Structure 1
Amino acid sequence: MKTVPARRSLRLHLVLAVGAIGALSAGCASKGPEPVASAPIDLRERHPIVLRDAPRSLDVFVGRSGKALDPRQRDDVIAFAQAYRRSARGGLVAEVPTGARRELATQDTLGGIRAALAQGGVSPAALSVRTYPVRDPLLASPIRLTFASLQAQLPHECGQWPQDLGTTDFKFSASNEQYWNFGCSSQATLAAQVADPIDLVRPRDEGRPDIVKRMNAIAKIRQGQDPSTQYRSSTPQISNSVGGGT
């Protein structure tokens, strides 16, 4: 008769012990490191294209004293001036080297830059001149033209590998997910090819419609004809040009 309460007491102690062990293990698990979130699946979320004001520069190398800009550099400065008129967000600055013992040639090159800017539609008065010291006189020290413009870029550089692609991380290797650097170069190339970064934010307004073409298409539809444009080419066939074909 006394063995039954003893067994019940033993079972109760075992249940309490198991519960205490579970509570301790749960407390230890809660203090462990939190799981690291994986990279976004969509590459546009990992490597988003953002708009920012970034400097745009052109290096004009100093020529000989008494000489104007060569044709290549003159065309570069004219194109740079047109880009400044189109997308500048501030002033135009020229950083001129000093201490290279070529002050006369530097001033002549600066004068050629002012003339090329005028050809590109930029007033020479809009150019602010600053100086920078030359560290190595044996190296070419150009005159750098700079202005700020709205550009499409990535918020980070490509070529980063935060995760190992080998077998050291079995969980990531078995997940069959894209690695972090995937799509970074294509996004950076797309951002560099955009002529107007605002096109990534909103579309442009529609141009004026061609009323004559629209009325001709409506008239063809009313007559039951095909309103599409028929393109005719007078280019001869390749087989006829080379004398082949039987």
Structure 2
Amino acid sequence: MNIKDATVLVTGGNRGLGKELVQKFLDAGARKVYVGSRTPIETSDPRLQPIKLDVTNEEDVKAAAEVARDVNILINNAGIASFASVLTAPSMQRAHEEMETNYFGTLAMIRAFAPILKKNGGGAIVDILSVLSWFTTPLTAAYSASKAAALQLTESARIELRSQGTQVIAVHLGYMDTDMAADINAPKVSPAAVADKIIEGIINEQEEVLADQRSQHVKAALASDKKAFYQTIQAEWNKTEQPV
């Protein structure tokens, strides 16, 4: 798909990867980018149109679909994460919030915009997922569950929307240098590098984008020996001596 003169909507477009994607789409020649965020951004760039958009809010999603009827690329980027055991957390509230945002929010956006994309010639949907949609750890169980659910949604939407000419792309990555991973001490890929991979994936009509070395390594390791992969996770967990 050609990015030039495209109209794009980026959820969570006010910071991190979303903000980088907004700029990269403009650099690639997009005609207009709707920037969805809970608090609309301020901008003087006529190519940008801020939208108040909380993907967990039914009215926000409906209003966005009424305003952005010229969209032909939808980027489902909004997401949240917490890093704590679901078995020992004080409540299940955070797990509910992650599922509401990462899965149900993505579902709501696809349901709202699939008919719009069809009317506008097919276009593309890009779902920002994670290597944690393929595996889990005790400290990422809720996030992994929400992203695994989102991956299954992505796969089913690809089948269902293929006949209307809509690309549906799954993007996987490990740690990225954003606020979400600020407290993680590990190599991180830059949002700019991930955004470049996503743009490339859209242009080349890829169904899956492995946006960094970690996603490539994890996919290969799981395919090679899943049991050994989880044995490593178990060994690391055992070192923490955290009781259930």
**TM-score of the pair, normalised by structure 1:** 0.26
More helix by share: 2
Higher relative contact order (CA 8 A, sep 6+): 1
